Amino acid sequence: MENLQTQGHMQSRLGGGQIVAQNKKMTEYEFELKFKLSDEEDPEQYLDALFEAGCDDALVGLGKVGFIGMDFSREAENAHLAISTALRDVREAIPHARQKEFNVW
Protein backbone atom coordinates (compact mmCIF):
# COMPACT_ATOMS: atom_id res chain seq x y z
CA MET A 1 0.00 0.00 0.00
CA GLU A 2 1.54 3.30 -1.10
CA ASN A 3 0.93 6.38 1.04
CA LEU A 4 0.60 9.97 -0.17
CA GLN A 5 0.61 13.04 2.13
CA THR A 6 -1.67 15.90 0.98
CA GLN A 7 -2.94 18.91 2.94
CA GLY A 8 -2.91 17.18 6.32
CA HIS A 9 -4.86 14.15 5.11
CA MET A 10 -3.37 10.73 4.52
CA GLN A 11 -4.44 9.06 1.31
CA SER A 12 -3.83 5.38 0.74
CA ARG A 13 -3.58 3.94 -2.76
CA LEU A 14 -5.14 0.49 -2.70
CA GLY A 15 -4.27 -2.37 -5.04
CA GLY A 16 -6.88 -1.46 -7.66
CA GLY A 17 -5.75 2.14 -7.89
CA GLN A 18 -8.58 3.35 -5.66
CA ILE A 19 -7.65 6.27 -3.37
CA VAL A 20 -9.25 6.51 0.06
CA ALA A 21 -8.79 9.69 2.12
CA GLN A 22 -8.31 9.27 5.84
CA ASN A 23 -7.89 11.85 8.60
CA LYS A 24 -5.00 10.15 10.40
CA LYS A 25 -2.53 11.94 12.64
CA MET A 26 1.03 10.99 11.83
CA THR A 27 3.64 10.91 14.61
CA GLU A 28 7.40 10.73 14.25
CA TYR A 29 8.97 7.71 16.00
CA GLU A 30 12.69 7.36 16.66
CA PHE A 31 14.27 3.94 17.04
CA GLU A 32 17.40 1.96 16.23
CA LEU A 33 17.70 -1.35 14.41
CA LYS A 34 20.92 -3.38 14.20
CA PHE A 35 21.47 -6.33 11.88
CA LYS A 36 24.06 -9.06 11.46
CA LEU A 37 25.36 -9.72 7.96
CA SER A 38 27.78 -12.44 6.92
CA ASP A 39 31.10 -12.24 8.75
CA GLU A 40 33.19 -10.69 5.99
CA GLU A 41 30.44 -8.68 4.32
CA ASP A 42 30.99 -4.94 3.80
CA PRO A 43 27.74 -3.18 4.77
CA GLU A 44 28.53 -0.18 2.54
CA GLN A 45 27.42 -2.18 -0.51
CA TYR A 46 23.78 -1.93 0.71
CA LEU A 47 23.46 1.87 1.03
CA ASP A 48 21.74 2.40 -2.32
CA ALA A 49 19.45 -0.61 -1.86
CA LEU A 50 18.38 0.64 1.59
CA PHE A 51 17.59 4.08 0.20
CA GLU A 52 15.61 2.62 -2.71
CA ALA A 53 13.69 0.30 -0.33
CA GLY A 54 12.43 3.28 1.70
CA CYS A 55 15.07 3.70 4.41
CA ASP A 56 15.77 7.30 3.42
CA ASP A 57 14.58 8.30 6.92
CA ALA A 58 17.47 6.48 8.61
CA LEU A 59 21.06 7.29 9.46
CA VAL A 60 23.08 4.21 8.58
CA GLY A 61 26.04 3.07 10.69
CA LEU A 62 28.79 1.09 8.95
CA GLY A 63 31.35 0.90 11.76
CA LYS A 64 31.96 -2.84 11.78
CA VAL A 65 32.34 -5.37 9.00
CA GLY A 66 29.52 -7.91 9.17
CA PHE A 67 27.07 -5.55 10.90
CA ILE A 68 24.84 -2.63 9.93
CA GLY A 69 22.89 -0.30 12.18
CA MET A 70 20.18 2.25 11.40
CA ASP A 71 18.74 5.11 13.46
CA PHE A 72 15.25 5.74 12.11
CA SER A 73 13.08 8.82 12.43
CA ARG A 74 9.89 7.52 10.80
CA GLU A 75 6.41 9.03 10.58
CA ALA A 76 3.52 6.63 11.05
CA GLU A 77 0.07 6.31 12.59
CA ASN A 78 1.55 4.33 15.50
CA ALA A 79 4.83 2.88 16.75
CA HIS A 80 4.03 -0.64 15.55
CA LEU A 81 3.59 0.58 11.97
CA ALA A 82 6.76 2.67 12.11
CA ILE A 83 8.87 -0.27 13.26
CA SER A 84 7.22 -2.96 11.12
CA THR A 85 7.56 -0.91 7.93
CA ALA A 86 11.21 -0.19 8.73
CA LEU A 87 11.87 -3.91 9.23
CA ARG A 88 10.06 -4.66 5.97
CA ASP A 89 12.14 -2.08 4.11
CA VAL A 90 15.45 -3.40 5.48
CA ARG A 91 14.49 -6.98 4.63
CA GLU A 92 13.61 -5.89 1.10
CA ALA A 93 17.09 -4.36 0.69
CA ILE A 94 19.05 -7.04 2.58
CA PRO A 95 16.96 -10.24 2.71
CA HIS A 96 19.59 -12.30 4.55
CA ALA A 97 20.20 -9.74 7.35
CA ARG A 98 19.39 -11.04 10.83
CA GLN A 99 18.02 -8.56 13.35
CA LYS A 100 20.30 -8.41 16.40
CA GLU A 101 19.14 -5.38 18.38
CA PHE A 102 16.26 -2.96 18.71
CA ASN A 103 16.07 0.27 20.75
CA VAL A 104 13.31 2.86 21.03
CA TRP A 105 14.15 6.44 21.98
- Show the domains of the chain with their CATH numbers: 26-104 (3.30.70.1430)
CA dist 47 and 57 (Å) reads 12
How far from chain centre, in Å, is Cα 44?
17
CA pair distance 55, 69, nearest whole angstrom = 12
- What is residue 61's predicted lDDT score, i.e. its pLDDT? 96
Angstrom CA distances, 52 to 18, 40, 72, 82, 103, stand at: 24, 24, 15, 17, 24
What's residue 24's pLDDT?
Answer: 74
pLDDT of residue 2: 38
What is the structure's pLDDT at 65? 86
Q: Give the pLDDT confidence score for residue 40 in this predicted structure.
A: 83
What are the E-state strand segments in 1-105?
2-6, 9-13, 19-22, 27-36, 58-61, 67-76, 98-104
Beginning with the edge strand found earlier in the chain, give each strand of the sheet holding 67-76 in spatial order.
58-61, 67-76, 27-36, 98-104
What residues in the chain have per-residue pLDDT under 70? 1-23
Per DSSP bridges, beta strands 58-61 and 67-76 are: antiparallel
Q: What is the structure's pLDDT at 22?
A: 61
